Amino acid sequence: MNNFEYVRAEGLDGAARFVAGHHGAKFIGGGTNLVDLMKYNVEKPTALVDLNRLAMRSVTELPYGGLRLGALVTNSEVAYHPVVSAKYPLLSRAILAGASAQLRNKATTGGNLLQRTRCVYFYDTAVPCNKREPGTGCPAKEGINRSMAILGTSVSCIATHPSDMCVALAALGATVQVAGTQGSRSIPFAEFHRLPGDQPQVDTTLAVDEIVTSVDLPAAGFAGHSAYIKVRDRQSYAFALVSVAAGFELADGIITKAGIALGGVAHKPWRNAELERSLLIGKPANRDTYHAFQLALLAGAQGYGENDFKLKIAPVTVVRAMEQAAHEGEQA
């Protein structure tokens, strides 16, 4: 790990100004991913600005019925929060499907959004990687790509976003609140992460000096009908090969609201709200509907060899998650 300066942030403004004014400075929250990347010399910050003393550690109910998760609330605290468990069970399930208890106890809400890919080439400084060193190439396309993306890839990068929590946040339609030297703004979850394109080194639409202050959940949380299914190599403590977060609101067997997002298949949680409107809303909650939807959602998916199996697993996992969500709460 390289030498760096340590700064304890006393306020949002000062923290943002420090990072804006110091080349190579980074914010740190829980640090479970950043410190690991620093040990591999993938991240080499000149300074770390510790955000942990800032007042972003509470969960508060919003006036319109939503829930604000402060950026420093740990993944464990969110997963086991009574309001989250009751109103947003999809989020609890997704978080508890990820990492280990120790990591969830340390990792923060904001940091979970900002974790980097676990692509083996990204982690190995002895090999090229366009995400780590733009312009050097991507050996993953013809290499070890079992865990890599099948949707939204580019010539430059086929990495996946590793989060489980973010898949649920995408399905729920959360909003990310951020603050920086240019003021504060709200980012719809679907616009927070980006596809690699020709700039795979840029994971999100966040500016360098912007800090995630909270993640806001909408009033509707699919409390009655949701499911999170994660396909992985081990039963616990493994990243998703394919995961699906599915949430419905139903009226007499007809879908009135839907949120379906996939993890493990793309550079960001994969959701298509347009397809949900055209193929799910107003349709009966049955297997024909789910099948037609997955065909459209996964159209254009492409394998790279080792990850070809995802082309078979993703469709059935989408259908299974939608069935499980629709039937949640029914007597067997």
Partner 1 sequence: MVGKLALEQRKDLAVATTLTVNGNTHTLDVEPWTSLLDLLRERLQLTGSKKGCDHGQCGACTVLVNDVRVNSCLCLAVMHDGDAVTTIEGLGSEGNLSPIQQAFVDHDGYQCGYCTPGQICSAVGMLKEGHAKTEADVREQMSGNVCRCGAYPGIVAAVRHIMATSQTEGAR
Residues that bind partner 1 (CB under 8 A): 1-6, 8, 28, 31-32, 35-36, 38-39, 48, 50, 52, 76, 80, 99-103, 105-106, 236-237
Where in 105-224 does DSSP place strands (E)?
175-180, 183-188, 211-217
CB of 289 to partner 1, least distance (A): 33
Report, in Å, the least distance between residue 37 CB and partner 1. Answer: 10
Burial environment of residue 108 by CB neighbours within 10 A (0 to 12, 13 to 18, 19 or more): buried
Of the pair 102, 184, the CB lying nearest partner 1 is at 102
Closest separation in Å from C-beta 234 to partner 1? 8
Structure tokens at 4: 């760096």
Is 326 within 8 Å of 250 (Cβ atoms)? yes
Shortest gap between Cβ of 41 and partner 1 (angstroms)? 12
Q: How many C-beta atoms surround the C-beta of residue 313 within 10 A?
A: 16
Contact 145, 138 (CB under 8 A): no
Instruction: State the maximum Cα–Cα separation within the chain, in Å, rounded to a whole number.
Output: 62
Nearer to partner 1, 4 or 309 (CB): 4
| Shortest distance (Å) from residue 209 CB to partner 1 | 21
- Residue 151 to residue 298: CA distance in whole angstroms: 8
Distance in angstroms (rounded) separating the CA atoms of residues 93 and 227:
8
Report the residue number, 80 or 309, with the smaller CB distance to partner 1: 80
Cβ at position 47, least distance to partner 1 in Å: 9
* In the complex, minimum distance from the CB of residue 46 to partner 1, in angstroms, rounded to a whole number: 11
Specify the residue, 70 or 259, whose C-beta has the smaller distance to partner 1: 70
Residue 263 and residue 240 in contact, taking contact as beta carbons nearer than 8 Å: yes
Closest to partner 1 by CB, 32 or 307: 32
Name residue 244's amino acid: V
Residue 26 belongs to what H/E stretch?
Answer: strand 25-28
State how far the Cα of 323 lies from the Cα of 311, in Å rounded to an integer. 19
Token couple for 145:
């790509």
